[in-house]
Structure 1
Amino acid sequence: MDLTVWARDLAESLLAEPLPRRWAHSQGVAAKAQSLAGILSDEAELLWAAAMLHDIGYTPALATTGFHPLDGARYLRDHTAADEWLVRLVANHSCAVLEAEERGLREQLEDEFPLLGHPALVDALAYCDMTTTPDGEPTTVDARLSEILGRYGLDSIVGRFIRRAEPELRAAVHRVDVRLATVGK
């Protein structure tokens, strides 16, 4: 089965009914990933699959630690034949290591799913996530970061994480924007 069909079917089966807003967000993130095919060439399909699956760890049936990147990656590793890089991208999307640290899970995340190499894919997945609203619509990184802080609050785990991750998330979005601007020149 084609990777994109498999990823879409799996994400839909896990998110559409219990978490329709997460499902909409995942579809929007994947649509954004599709728009980056011109700068990723051979890695475009892997990015699209990671974009579609990045939030499956929110699914109540999978949420064992309460940290969605780790829960989603563990599910993919333990219950599917997903590519190792796909699993690592889901585990480490959007500076997840910093939130893992806030939750006391950094060592587990780094031990189980080390992120070595593929900086362009890591940036691209953060770009897609940080420029898509919870409802799957395109947005700016500024608006997305503000929305996350407003939804979770400044002093929450997610609020503390997003404030720590903000410089790197903005830098990742900027690096992708630069690559997009140079395509076709």
Structure 2
Amino acid sequence: MNEALSKWARQVAEAELRESIPRRWAHSQGVARRAAEVAGLLGNDAELLTSAAVLHDVGYAPRLALTGFHALDGARFLRDVHAADERLVRLVANHSLALLEADERGLRDVLEAEFPLLDDQRLVDALVYCDMTTTPDGGVTSVDARLAEITARYGSESLVGRFIRRAAPGIVAAVGRVEAALAAQPR
């Protein structure tokens, strides 16, 4: 486990989010806490998940929001400014079925070309689980409540509302796979 990676990730996320968008920072910290809770499922990749969890929304930082698509903006920042680990950058770029949001924004080809999906479904699912079971304020919630909250916050016919509607089955399936794996762990 590379604890230096998660320490660095937390510092970067805090520097970009804490002052400019404190609620997003609270959410990111909550997602990182969820990642620590599922670490046992990932073995040597636990630290990678925790790092991606705290950084997944860094692209919302106003100074980084160049395209307006936080997954792409955050991944480019991590790649171009910090030369971050490729797997970390690809997780951030593709978190929570971001490819479907990229499609809504006309950026799917760009996201796919710059940041291909990881083949490791465990990591992808784990990050979806952590993000989609954490409230905007960093608390724990159900996936259904989270999806409803996102829809209510953005509106069902907004770009994000359309994305969430399309992504919901995949998000629910990913959360279900992680919950099943957690339930199967020896206690």
Q: Which secondary structure does the structure 1 equivalent of 2:186 belong to?
A: coil
User: Which residue pairs with 1:85 in the alignment?
Assistant: 87
From 51, 55, 58, give the equivalent of 1:56: 58
From 1, 10, 13, give the equivalent of 1:11: 13
In structure 2, the gaps of 5 or more residues are none
Cα distance, 1:81 vs structure 2: 2.6
In structure 1, the gaps of 5 or more residues are none
Q: Which secondary structure does the structure 2 equivalent of 1:8 belong to?
A: helix
From 84, 108, 111, give the equivalent of 2:110: 108
Cα distance, 1:37 vs structure 2: 1.1
Separation in 2, partners of 1:79, 1:118: 25
The 5-angstrom pairing of residues 1-185 of structure 1 reads 2-184=4-186
TM-score (norm 1): 0.99
Separation in 2, partners of 1:160, 1:103: 11
Give yes or no for contact 2:104–2:159 (8 Å, CA) kept in 1. Answer: yes
Separation in 1, partners of 2:127, 2:118: 15
State percent identity of aligned pairs: 65
TM-score (norm 2): 0.98
Q: Deviations over 1:60-104 (max 9, x none)?
A: 000000000000000001000310000000000000000000000
Separation in 1, partners of 2:40, 2:97: 24
RMSD, aligned CA: 0.9
Count residues in correspondence: 185
User: Which amino acid is the alignment partner of residue 154 of structure 1?
Assistant: S
